[in-house]
């Protein structure tokens, strides 16, 4: 089954949890262990990627180990060096609020040939950085949307969907002190037709995760917390699946 079909089916059942593994921080052995545990905890898919220092060979190993868990593995590229063999799909994304043409369309032009060559299913994604932004915001030369300006985020998300993007990713930045405010999630969701709404960055507690899915997120992404505390990840997954 295509990953896009799988995500659609899952969305009909309720909000999804995506586990982000950064190959620069987590080696293949650890990815295999964490991957198995996360599957038992009910995660729906794995994202693999990072903003800095991703080694292609290591990333390929991480992908391979996560694949053995049985859940779809989706590349979440910080740059072209994240496009590796063996994954099922890729968030083929444009960092819409970047000031750099490279992050809006340059890297995608570089990566498209590899995506085809490696038989990765492209999931067309508008990536929008909100507030803190973290490494993704810094490296991607983003002009992050202020937390008190939901309508700027809405306008970006609408433009992305009108351009044909099927996934809208609101990113607060990995390790952000504050996750994307539910008011922004709600305003964006209200103005989308069919696109999936993905929200990530700084989600560390079940309450924060619950507020974000109640505001309309179809999928939430957690990264940091998985490396620090799988117990917390379990509570987050439970909280959103109970909705
Ligand atoms: C970052 O949205 C993801 O791209 C996840 O962020 O590491 O803060 O969970 P955290």
* Total-model pTM: 0.97
Substitution candidate for ligand 1 out of 22, 54, 170, 173 with most atoms within 8 A of CB: 173
List the one residue out of 2, 23, 196 whose CA is nearest residue 88: 2
Distance CA 171, CA 222 (A): 11
Question: Could you read off the pLDDT of 21-30 as tens digits, one per residue?
Answer: 999 999 999 9
Which residue's CA is minimally distant from atom 4 of ligand 1? 174
Please report the pLDDT score of residue 74 as a whole number: 98
Residue 156 has pLDDT above 90, yes or no: yes
The secondary structure element, H or E, covering residue 83 is none
What is the mean predicted confidence (pLDDT) over 140-168?
98
DSSP state of 120: P
pLDDT number for residue 227: 82
User: Does the pLDDT value for residue 78 go beyond 60?
Assistant: yes
Domain borders along the chain are 3-241
Tens-place pLDDT, residues 118-139? 999 999 999 999 999 999 999 9
End-to-end Cα, the chain, rounded Å: 26
Tell me: domain 3-241, CATH 3.40.50.2300, correct?
no
Q: Which of 85, 58, 88, 60 is nearest to 72 (CA)?
A: 88
Given pLDDT bands bounded at 50, 70 and 90, which one contains residue 229?
confident
| 86 CA to centre of ligand 1 in angstroms | 23
Helix ranges (H only) for 42-149 are 56-67, 101, 107-117, 134-139
Task: Assess contact for 237 and 42: CB atoms under 8 A.
Answer: yes
């Amino acid at each position: 089954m295509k990953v896009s079909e799988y995500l659609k089916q899952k969305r009909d059942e309720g909000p999804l949890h995506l586990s982000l593994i950064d190959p620069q921080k987590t080696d293949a052995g650890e990815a295999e262990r964490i991957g198995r545990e996360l599957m038992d905890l009910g995660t729906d898919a794995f994202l693999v990627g990072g903003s800095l220092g991703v080694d292609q060979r290591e990333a390929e190993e991480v992908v391979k180990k996560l694949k053995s868990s049985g859940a779809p593995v989706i590349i979440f590229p910080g740059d072209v060096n994240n496009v590796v063999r063996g994954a099922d799909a890729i968030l083929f994304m444009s960092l819409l609020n970047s000031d750099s043409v490279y992050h809006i369309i340059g890297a995608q032009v570089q990566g498209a040939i590899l995506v085809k060559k490696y038989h990765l299913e492209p999931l067309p994604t508008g990536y929008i950085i909100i507030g803190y932004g973290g490494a993704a915001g810094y490296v991607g030369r983003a002009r992050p949307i202020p937390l008190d300006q939901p309508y700027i985020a809405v306008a970006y998300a609408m433009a992305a969907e009108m351009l044909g993007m099927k996934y809208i990713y609101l990113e607060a930045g990995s390790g952000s002190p504050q996750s994307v405010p539910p008011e922004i999630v709600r305003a964006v969701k209200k103005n989308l037709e069919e696109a999936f709404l993905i929200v990530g960055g700084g989600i560390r507690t079940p309450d924060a995760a619950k507020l974000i899915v109640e505001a309309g997120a179809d999928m939430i992404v957690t990264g940091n917390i998985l490396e620090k505390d799988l117990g917390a990840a379990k509570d987050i997954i439970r909280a959103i699946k109970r909705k």
